[in-house]
Structures are given as structure tokens and as C-alpha cells.
Amino acid sequence: MGYELERDVAPGEVVFIDLKGNIFSRVLEKRQHRPCMFEWVYFASPESVIDQVPVYGARIGLGKQLAKIIKKQLKEKNIEADLVVPVPETSRIAAIALAEELGIPYREVLIKNRYIKRTFILDSQEKRQKAVNLKLSPVRSEIEGKRLILVDDSIVRGTTSKKIIDLVRQAGASKVYFVSTCPPIKHPCYYGIDFPNNRELIANGRDITEIEKELGADAVIYQDLEGLKSAIMESALKQGTNMRPCMACLDGEYPSDISAGARFANTRQADRVKTQNK
Ligand code: SF4
């Protein structure tokens, strides 16, 4: 919009600009800054820079970190792959870095219908399933007979991932290895991201074999916590920022008291069940 960046608004800070353009600001409550790790993994636009950490660079880092894990697993499980395929849009940057590191061709063979909303934000299972059906079209001529490493930014409920795996199998993929640039999401978020219920999270209470079975993948490979931390924090440390992102949905270490959030999530879940049963 043609504006210039002055500075970020600090956590707990209020900034007031009067009609003459005078600026007043005060930090009302001082707390440790714990931004959501999902900004770098999924939410933020790739050209953004958050807390001095470029989102694009962090996603490249996620791909490179994943490559280390995948190389090891490919060797251990004696797996070979023909193509690295991103699930559009967010995972593209990480998938490019991953393909470069693995020396496997990168192909965009899932074509996105740009008019469908992000599926995990839709408020019912039925809407999410319908949206996935309409969301992506496979390029059969490039997929047929190929062993694919499918890269997605994260696996939340697994609904989308399962559908995409079905889709590429129907398009003739001979093997599907599903890779997530984010570690397993095992705990609810009480800070506004809409996956509040433990039972809805595919990685909650399941081991990797059960997840592979549930999704119908030949293998599922996740980023690890260390890989995620270093992809985000490396740039922050270079800038001299000692920022620690929130990763509570991954490691269960919530940066604040969550009792009110937990009560709200339970009430909301009960309301959803009532509405579904009507
Ligand atoms: S719990 Fe997860 S989704 Fe929620 S703010 Fe923390 S990192 Fe983000």
C-alpha cells in the first residue's frame, strides 16, 4: 500500500495516533513474546518478515531440515522416490528446498482451484470434505506409475491429507510418501487457531504406523521439533533476537494459563455436538 515500516508493535503495547499525527505509546503489560510458530509454517504470506525472521527463509529451512530426516528414513526403509510434489500453496517453498537437497525432480502436479477456502478453517467435517474434493486436480500424465513424496505444511485432522493421498492414487501413483513440514500436532490450541479438540487431531494418541494406516500412505514422515526450531530461530539468532515461538500444540508447553480457554473449548465442542445431533 506504499507505507514504510516504522517498527513492530511490542507485545502488550498500545499505540495511539491523534488527528494531528502525534504518536503516543505505552507497554501496558510486559510479558515474554511468544509468537505462533504457524506463522512461519503456514499462515503468513511468504514475503513477510515476522520478528525479523523472513518467512520465505524459514520455509527453505524447513525443507532442508526435512531432507536430513528423509534421507535417513529412505535409507533405513529402502525407499526410492521419483518426484517431490508440493500440496499447494504453502508447502511449495519447503518442497523446492527438499527436492534440491534430495536430488529428486520437483513437480507441481496438483493444480489448485483458487476459489476454495482453507479446509481446516471450515466449521464442519462435511464442508471440509466437500472442499477437498473441489480443491485440487491431479495431472494424471505426470503422476501415473510414479513414486511420490507429497509435501504438505502440516497434518491437523488428516481429512485433507487422506483425500489428497486417495486423489494421487486414483491418478496412478504407485507409492505415496506423505511428508509434513510441521511436527505432529498433538495438543489443542487455545489461542485462536481452530483445532480445539484433542480427539480431532490425528497425531493425538496414535503412533506413526497408525497414522500411516489411517491416511492410507506408504509412509508418513514428519519434521521434528529440533528441525522446526532451527528453521525459525536460525535467522532470529543471526539478527540477535532471542525470540521463542509458541509451539504448545506440538510440545504441550503452553506459554500462559489455559484454564479459561479449555473451558471455552469444551463448551464450544458440546454446542457443536448438539448442533450436529439436531
Ligand atoms: S498452540 Fe500452536 S497454533 Fe496455537 S498459538 Fe501456539 S503454536 Fe500457534
Q: Kindly report, residue by residue over 240-256, the tens digit of the pLDDT.
A: 777 889 999 999 999 99
CB–CB of 99/221 below 8 Å?
A: no
Pocket probe for ligand 1: among 51, 155, 182, 246, the residue whose CB has the most ligand atoms within 8 Å is: 246
Q: Is the CB of 232 under 6 A from ligand 1?
A: no
CA 224 – ligand 1 centroid, Å? 16
Helices (H), the chain: 38, 55-76, 92-102, 125-135, 140-143, 159-170, 208-215, 225-238, 248-251, 259-277
Q: Cα Rg for the chain, rounded, in angstroms?
A: 20
Q: Kindly report, residue by residue over 84-117, the tens digit of the pLDDT.
A: 999 998 999 999 999 999 999 999 999 987 776 5
CB–CB of 106/88 below 8 Å?
A: no
Q: Kindly report, residue by residue over 53-83, the tens digit of the pLDDT.
A: 999 999 999 999 999 999 998 888 888 999 9
Q: Kindly report, residue by residue over 257-274, the tens digit of the pLDDT.
A: 999 888 888 887 788 777
The pLDDT value recorded for residue 130 is 59
Domain map of the chain by residue range?
57-230
Pick the CATH number of 57-230 from 3.40.50.2020, 3.30.70.360, 3.40.50.10470, 3.30.460.10: 3.40.50.2020
Please tell me the pTM assigned to this model: 0.86
In this predicted structure, the answer to whether residue 28 has a pLDDT above a threshold of 80 is: yes
In this predicted structure, the answer to whether residue 120 has a pLDDT above a threshold of 60 is: no
Contacts of 223 (CB under 8 A, 6+ apart): 62, 65, 66, 69, 180, 181, 182, 183
Residue 222 C-alpha cell reads as 514428519
